[in-house]
């Protein structure tokens, strides 16, 4: 009954055992639905292959701020076209990354704005990547009217004040491995305790950000269960309640039956 709203199962780190990882997630960990996220030319292509191969895997397509400098008009037109694909349920991940600054910030912003426009045109929810850029992300979401379609703040790393801003902008909060870390600042835990239950989504971001006790190792989509258990404990509710609420939220946001 779990829903992993952010996976990169097309990553080369799964080249040797991708099918086993996916099967394990379903059979051992109770994962029912997965959204795999493509974020540049190559990963969009392999994300679609995966979504076409498994009926319970859906696709998000977008352009990552890291690769913004390589994004062409053709790429944006392609993303627009892919919204017609039956397994595409969201646009992204898109946003700003001021930690790595792999593309100039003005180019990151432009590619981000163009994709929000596509989302508004087509009515698709948005998956946001925000690293050390909270203020500018929120400002651009406001300026571009992103609240009209909403979406999810993937791997949310802000504080309670920024969370409130995102909620007002019609966005949900995605939480993953960091809520389980033992020796880490308590911000993700504070968010996990305080985010309204009807606005919370679970995610792994696998192969990255593996939860405790696998921290530093390859993450798997099945480990979303450890994220769910940690958040349920932080909130003082049962695992079942948490799993059901977050699954309903994901189905509502991505319009799945």
Question: C-beta of 10: minimal distance to Ni ion in Å?
Answer: 11
Question: C-beta of 7: minimal distance to Ni ion in Å?
Answer: 8
Q: What share of the chain is helix, strand, coil (3-state, %, to 5)?
A: 50, 20, 30
For Ni ion, give the closer residue by CB, 4 or 205.
Answer: 205
Give the contact letters, 34-73, x = binds to Ni ion (CB under 5 A), - = no: ----------------------------------------
Question: C-beta of 37: minimal distance to Ni ion in Å?
Answer: 5
Question: C-beta of 39: minimal distance to Ni ion in Å?
Answer: 7
Quote the tokens at residue 6: 């952010």
Could you tell me how many residues of this chain bind Ni ion (CB under 5 A)?
Answer: 1
Examine residue 169 and say whether the peptide bond preceding it is cis (omega within 30 degrees of 0): no
For Ni ion, give the closer residue by CB, 166 or 232.
Answer: 166
For Ni ion, give the closer residue by CB, 155 or 232.
Answer: 155
Question: C-beta of 252: minimal distance to Ni ion in Å?
Answer: 21
Describe the crossing of helices 134-143 and 105-122 by its angle, rounded to 10 degrees: 40
Question: C-beta of 92: minimal distance to Ni ion in Å?
Answer: 9
Q: Residue of minimal CB distance from Ni ion?
A: 205
Give the contact letters, 188-227, x = binds to Ni ion (CB under 5 A), - = no: -----------------x----------------------
- CA dist 182 and 197 (Å) reads 23
Which residue's entry shows tokens 């690293």?
Answer: 131
Question: C-beta of 52: minimal distance to Ni ion in Å?
Answer: 20
- Coil, strand or helix: which one is 247? helix
**Which residues have CB under 8 Å from 102's CB, separation 6+?**
65, 66, 67, 69
**Which residues have CB under 8 Å from 137's CB, separation 6+?**
95, 96, 128, 130
Asked whether the beta carbons of 80 and 118 are under 8 A apart, the reply is yes
For Ni ion, give the closer residue by CB, 97 or 232.
Answer: 97
For Ni ion, give the closer residue by CB, 13 or 235.
Answer: 13
Of the candidates 151, 152, 153, 158, the residue with the CA atom closest to the CA atom of residue 190: 158
For Ni ion, give the closer residue by CB, 144 or 205.
Answer: 205
Give the contact letters, 156-195, x = binds to Ni ion (CB under 5 A), - = no: ----------------------------------------
For Ni ion, give the closer residue by CB, 94 or 242.
Answer: 94
- CA dist 220 and 167 (Å) reads 28
Element (H, E) at 60: strand 57-61
Quote the tokens at residue 183: 């020796």
Please report, as ranges, the residues that interact with Ni ion according to CB under 5 A: 205
């Amino acid at each position: 009954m779990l829903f992993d709203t952010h996976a990169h199962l097309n990553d080369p780190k799964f080249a040797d055992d991708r099918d086993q990882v996916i099967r394990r997630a379903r059979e051992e960990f109770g994962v029912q639905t997965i959204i795999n996220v493509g974020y540049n030319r190559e990963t969009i292509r392999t994300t679609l292959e995966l979504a076409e191969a498994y009926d319970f895997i859906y696709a998000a397509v977008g352009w990552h701020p890291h690769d913004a400098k390589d994004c062409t008009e053709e790429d944006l037109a392609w993303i627009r076209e892919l919204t017609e694909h039956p397994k595409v349920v969201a646009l992204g991940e898109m946003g700003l990354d001021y930690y790595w600054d792999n593309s100039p910030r003005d180019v990151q912003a432009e590619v981000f704005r163009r994709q929000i426009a596509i989302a508004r045109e087509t009515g698709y929810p948005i998956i946001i990547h925000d690293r050390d850029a909270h203020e500018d992300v929120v400002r651009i979401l406001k300026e571009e009217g992103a609240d009209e379609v909403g979406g999810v703040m993937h791997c949310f790393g802000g504080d309670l004040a920024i969370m409130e801003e995102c909620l007002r902008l019609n966005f949900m909060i995605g939480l993953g491995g960091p809520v389980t870390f033992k020796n880490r600042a308590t911000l993700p835990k504070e968010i996990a305790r305080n985010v309204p239950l009807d606005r919370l989504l679970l995610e792994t971001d696998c192969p990255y950000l593996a939860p405790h006790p696998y921290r530093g190792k390859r993450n798997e989509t099945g480990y979303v269960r450890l994220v769910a258990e940690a958040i349920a404990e932080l909130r003082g509710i049962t695992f079942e309640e948490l799993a059901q609420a977050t699954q309903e939220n994901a189905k509502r946001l991505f319009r799945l039956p």
